[in-house]
Structure 1
Amino acid sequence: MQSASAANLQFVVRTIAQVAVDNETQFCDLDAVVGDGDFGYSLARGFEIIIADWDTIDRTSPSAFLQQVAITISKRVGGTSGPIWGTAFLRAAIAVRDKQDLTSDDVVAILRSAAEGIKKRGNSDVGDKTLLDALVPMTDAIAMHLTADPTAAAAEIAEVASKAARAAADATSAMRATRGRASYTGDRSIGSPDAGAIAVAVMAEAVARNWPPRASL
């Protein structure tokens, strides 16, 4: 029987996948402002496979589950998004290798590891106007909240993550893109939010809004 924390992890991934599919047009429109407009399409094509194959994904451990998701995303998501998102899930899997039950510290470790993988794979960092500009502040907010209240309920943590991700994603509008296709537009990238950062925010909001009635991680 799987642990509650493993079930919660699967809920988060399933929610992320559904958001990617449901918001394909929105994410494409955001990307089209300064990019080639295929971000939403690429993301949806990969995550719809996750949904279609959901019942066959390896669930023997959280790490095995995340690793299989990573492989699917890497193979099925096109453009630069495949390697970036695939690396994020793969690094997340490595962060919890050999674990069956996940703690709040593991949640932070998963997110930190994913962010570091994205940084290295994309040769990017916070401030470059990428999804990192939502992911890292969100992770920092979770870590700070858990430091202040180590026994915080999972639903509460999800709400903290949601608010932090949204504020950080919206703040990317004032940034000048220095990575990816958007960087080619120079100052024209200022004034619109980064599509990847907004995707992180929308996903975090969906997780918080739909969090299952469980108290534990």
Structure 2
Amino acid sequence: MPDTVDITALHGWIREFARLIADHKDLLTELDAAIGDADHGINMHRGMSAVVTTLESESPGRPSEIFKRTGMTLVSTVGGASGPLYGTAFLRMSAIAGDAESLDGTDLAKLLRAALDGVAQRGKASVGDKTMLDALSPAVEALESAIEDGQPLAVALGAAVRAAEEGRAATIPMVARKGRASYLGERSAGHQDPGATSVTFLLAAAATSLS
């Protein structure tokens, strides 16, 4: 039987992501202070706290409902670019999940590919622009490759996390071409992108909760 992820595990994924954001909100804000508006950690913490409250009060019963509630809450509570981008990611995952009651590794890879495509379209960004895509894109590619090779979900998600971490680190020498950081030009080099950092937490939370 293939690895499957049920509704309880998906709730756990969102809660673990919220916990990692809360634990690292100061780091995210510090990173954003160097090249942005110094609010990424604050905004994401506020948004994910609201998401957890929403899911606990409404208790969605299907994957698509969890992702939809998460996306809509982030859009309505997170300021700056993060709300629309993360909101789009989760709403795209909701659309792909459809009426499924549970998900397997192939499903998760499709969901995250849809999230990646949504973020790229919404932000009009590409890999190399020093954005969250620089961590998300290699993570999705690593997950897809591992699943196609028949690797267990835990192994596949571990590969995705490592790829996200490498992508996150690769943003440090980059010159930003999108977002607030792009206004700094060459001065944006030498700083880790906060969006790539928070999306790495999203993958790490998945590896912890969905394996």
Instruction: Mark yes or no: TM-score above 0.5.
Output: yes
Write the letter of the residue equivalent to 2:110.
A
CA contact (8 A) 1:128 1:176 kept: yes
1:69 equivalent in structure 2:
70
Give me the whole-angstrom Cα distance separating, in 2, the residues matched to 1:189 and 1:102. 39
Q: 1:206 to 1:104 in 2, by over 3 A?
A: closer
2:131 equivalent in structure 1:
130
Write the letter of the residue equivalent to 2:153.
A
Q: What is the RMSD of the two structures over their aligned residues, measured on CA atoms?
A: 1.7
Give me the whole-angstrom Cα distance separating, in 2, the residues matched to 1:141 and 1:179. 24
CA contact (8 A) 1:166 1:202 kept: no
Give me the whole-angstrom Cα distance separating, in 2, the residues matched to 1:206 and 1:82. 19
Shift in Å, 1:196: 0.6
Q: Which segment drifts farther, 154-163 or 192-201?
A: 154-163
2:153 equivalent in structure 1:
154
Shift in Å, 1:14: 1.5
User: Secondary structure, in 3 states, of the residue corresponding to 2:158?
Assistant: helix
CA contact (8 A) 2:21 2:201 kept: no
Give me the whole-angstrom Cα distance separating, in 2, the residues matched to 1:119 and 1:203. 17
Write the letter of the residue equivalent to 1:141.
A
1:177 equivalent in structure 2:
176
User: Secondary structure, in 3 states, of the residue corresponding to 2:45?
Assistant: helix
Shift in Å, 1:15: 1.2
Give me the whole-angstrom Cα distance separating, in 1, the residues matched to 2:79 and 2:168. 23
Percent identity between matched residues is 34
CA contact (8 A) 1:58 1:64 kept: no
Write the letter of the residue equivalent to 1:142.
L
1:196 equivalent in structure 2:
195
TM value normalised by structure 1: 0.89
Shift in Å, 1:88: 0.7
1:111 maps to 2:112: yes
Give me the whole-angstrom Cα distance separating, in 1, the residues matched to 2:60 and 2:15. 13
Shift in Å, 1:58: 4.2
Shift in Å, 1:7: 2.4
1:22 equivalent in structure 2:
23
Shift in Å, 1:207: 4.0
2:86 equivalent in structure 1:
85
Give me the whole-angstrom Cα distance separating, in 2, the residues matched to 1:36 and 1:173. 18
Give me the whole-angstrom Cα distance separating, in 2, the residues matched to 1:55 and 1:90. 19
Specify every segment of 5 or more residues in structure 1 that has no aligned partner in the other structure, as ranges: none
Shift in Å, 1:206: 4.3
The count of residues paired between Structure 1 and Structure 2 equals 208
Specify every segment of 5 or more residues in structure 2 that has no aligned partner in the other structure, as ranges: none
User: Secondary structure, in 3 states, of the residue corresponding to 1:20?
Assistant: helix
Write the letter of the residue equivalent to 1:52.
T
1:120 equivalent in structure 2:
121
Give me the whole-angstrom Cα distance separating, in 2, the residues matched to 1:52 and 1:63. 18
Give me the whole-angstrom Cα distance separating, in 2, the residues matched to 1:166 and 1:4. 24
Write the letter of the residue equivalent to 1:137.
P
CA contact (8 A) 2:54 2:69 kept: no
Q: Give deviations 1:69-126, integer Å, cap 9, x for gaps.
A: 1111110111111111111110110111121121211101111111111111111111
CA contact (8 A) 1:129 1:176 kept: yes
CA contact (8 A) 2:7 2:61 kept: no
1:48 equivalent in structure 2:
49
1:168 equivalent in structure 2:
167
Give me the whole-angstrom Cα distance separating, in 2, the residues matched to 1:4 and 1:128. 33
Q: Give deviations 1:1-60, integer Å, cap 9, x for gaps.
A: xx8433222222221122122211110000111111111111111111122333223422
Give me the whole-angstrom Cα distance separating, in 1, the residues matched to 2:40 and 2:170. 20
